[in-house]
Amino acid sequence: MSQQHKDTSSISGSSPIQTGEQYIDSLRGRDLTVYLFGEKVEDIVEHPMIRPSINAVAQTFDLAQREPELASAISPFTGERVNRFLHIATDAEDLVRQNKMQRKLGQLTGTCFQRCVGMDAFNALYSVTYEMDQTHETDYHQKFKAFVGMTHKHGYVIGGAMTDVKGDRSLPPHQQADPDLYLHVTKRTADGVYVTGAKAHQTGCLNSHWLVVMPTLRLGPEDKEFAIVGAVPVEAKGITYIYGRQSCDTRSMEGGSIDVGNARYGGQEAMVIFEDVFIPNQYIFMDGEYDFAAMLVERFTSYHRRSYVCKSGVGDVLIGAAATIADYNGVSKASHIRDKLVEMTHQNETIYATGIAASYQGFATESGAFLPDDMLANVCKHHVTKMPYEIGRLAQDLAGGMVVTMPSEQDYRSNEVGPLLEKYLKGKADVNTEDRVRILRLIENMTLGRNAVGYLTESMHGAGSPQAQRIQIMRQMQVDYKKKLAQALAGIENEETRLEIMAKVDGYFARVFKLSDQGDRS
Ligand code: SF4
Ligand code: FE
């Protein structure tokens, strides 16, 4: 097997990766080109800034061990139990369990656990390859199923690489001054294709075993060379990773455990640069079918925008931190404090409610894969672009100014000023001062530090920035239908309009209440 398309099945031998520890071991000794602070990183697993992100992914394995019904499923490809992040959802219950698993993992890690992009890409590609084959008489679906089966056999982590760097946002890919600003095919051989380009903000890319590259937007006939979907091992020749830094990230290199806020878990994003990276034919799942790029992006975002219920799990941690500091400060009985916790909870549950509703309202595609309701998925993600900021604001309100003015861990530990801080950072007499410092640092971490990347700004831009959801909501808001509803009740309609409305109302409710799949969202 050539080095260019080696199968990483050797990583875990013949049995699948099942525990967090096995997963961490599977990441050791890989030949990766990773840059951080201008230097090549030799060992990502033991790097103090990178390890917390690996620990977060490891939790996805350990949770599946502890709660198999929640975080695993039976693979139709191997007949064995497989991690839910690799499972193709075939009913609403599968989609709902994804969401419940995501909330739980947000609670356990307080950060981004990085596996949802791969899960959502798998689910979207399952139906899109099926429908592409129907139209174009291609064989992508079989090849894709073989790939999914292989990942089940080994228990791999999959990264979904969608977001191109995009250059001039007003121009389509083929009109860019530099064609590499969108990933594209540069060369073809009888064995496969070579691709060049760069994907930005790649969540968990280094912590994955395989990356699936996909187009990032609707494409036209002249963008054919950009219509490429394929899988490559993370260590494929020609890939360079440039690690993204996060606010306060170097605190993890200071050696302490307080100032980092959340010492164990963190997220990961990197820029992934592809320079003539080879994708063998067996791992190509779209090549030139530009007319299916929009379907892939829309289906992927339909899954991914309700995957953001992960933030309700992270929100649970922040609400808990805010309630804890109120206890430590002796103010937990004040009615305005309780009311702020109620407001935080209301907003947090609103995120969860719309995400889980999108899953319950899902429907079967021709391939059998279940697709969430697009409108509700977009509403969920749109909430996520706003509500964590308000929840974060209220957490800082409850924390008080000390959250940003507290002296360092080194001062707290020093013989000279440590005792002074111990005395003057005290809250309630029966509360350990260090505990008070620790919870304040966690609030700082989640609203200003490393995990604010995931909880706030990533909530804004991940799975598409707010405007992307507003466009989808606008497309599906049926305002003409709603105008007719109002006009009918105001006595403005004629008989023809009335019948049309009744048919649409029947169709809409049939969809909403699952009486048939013929609902109206036109
Ligand atoms: Fe999953 Fe949330 Fe991280 Fe996206 S931000 S990968 S949905 S945990
Ligand atoms: Fe994300």
% pLDDT > 70, the chain:
92
Please provide the DSSP assignment of 133-177 as one string.
HHHH---HHHHHHHHHHHHHHHT--EEEE--B--SSTTS-GGGSS
pLDDT band of 522, cuts 50, 70, 90: very low
pLDDT band of 8, cuts 50, 70, 90: very low
Residue with tokens 């006009």: 487
Q: Is the CB of 16 under 6 A from ligand 1?
A: no
- pLDDT score of 488: 85
Q: Taking 90 as the threshold, does the pLDDT of residue 402 lie above it?
A: yes
Q: Taking 80 as the threshold, does the pLDDT of residue 118 lie above it?
A: yes
Q: Taking 50 as the threshold, does the pLDDT of residue 112 lie above it?
A: yes
Q: Taking 60 as the threshold, does the pLDDT of residue 385 lie above it?
A: yes
| Residue pLDDT, tens place only, 317-342 | 999 999 999 999 999 999 999 999 99
| Residue pLDDT, tens place only, 207-249 | 999 999 999 999 999 999 999 999 999 999 999 999 999 999 9
State the pTM of this model.
0.94
Average pLDDT, the chain: 93
Ligand 2 centroid to Cα of residue 188, in Å, is 32
pLDDT band of 514, cuts 50, 70, 90: very low
**Cα 334 from Cα 194, distance rounded (Å):** 63
- pLDDT score of 148: 97
306-475 CATH: 1.20.140.10
The size of the chain, in residues, is 522
CATH class held by domain 9-303? mainly beta
Same CATH fold assignment for domains 9-303 and 306-475:
no
Map residue 39 onto helix, strand or coil: strand
pLDDT band of 304, cuts 50, 70, 90: very high
| Residue pLDDT, tens place only, 272-300 | 999 999 999 999 999 999 999 999 999 99
Please list all protein residues whose beta carbon sits less than 5 angstroms from ligand 2, which is an ion. 462
- pLDDT score of 6: 41
pLDDT band of 515, cuts 50, 70, 90: very low
Q: Is the CB of 269 under 6 A from ligand 1?
A: no
Ligand 1 centroid to Cα of residue 402, in Å, is 30
**Cα 177 from Cα 107, distance rounded (Å):** 45
Amino acid at 310: C
* Closest to 125 measured CA to CA, from 138, 140, 146: 140
Ligand 1 centroid to Cα of residue 221, in Å, is 33
pLDDT band of 518, cuts 50, 70, 90: very low
Q: Taking 50 as the threshold, does the pLDDT of residue 2 lie above it?
A: no
Catalytically active residues are 112, 116, 203, 269, 304, 308, 310, 458
The domain spans of the chain are 9-303, 306-475, 478-512
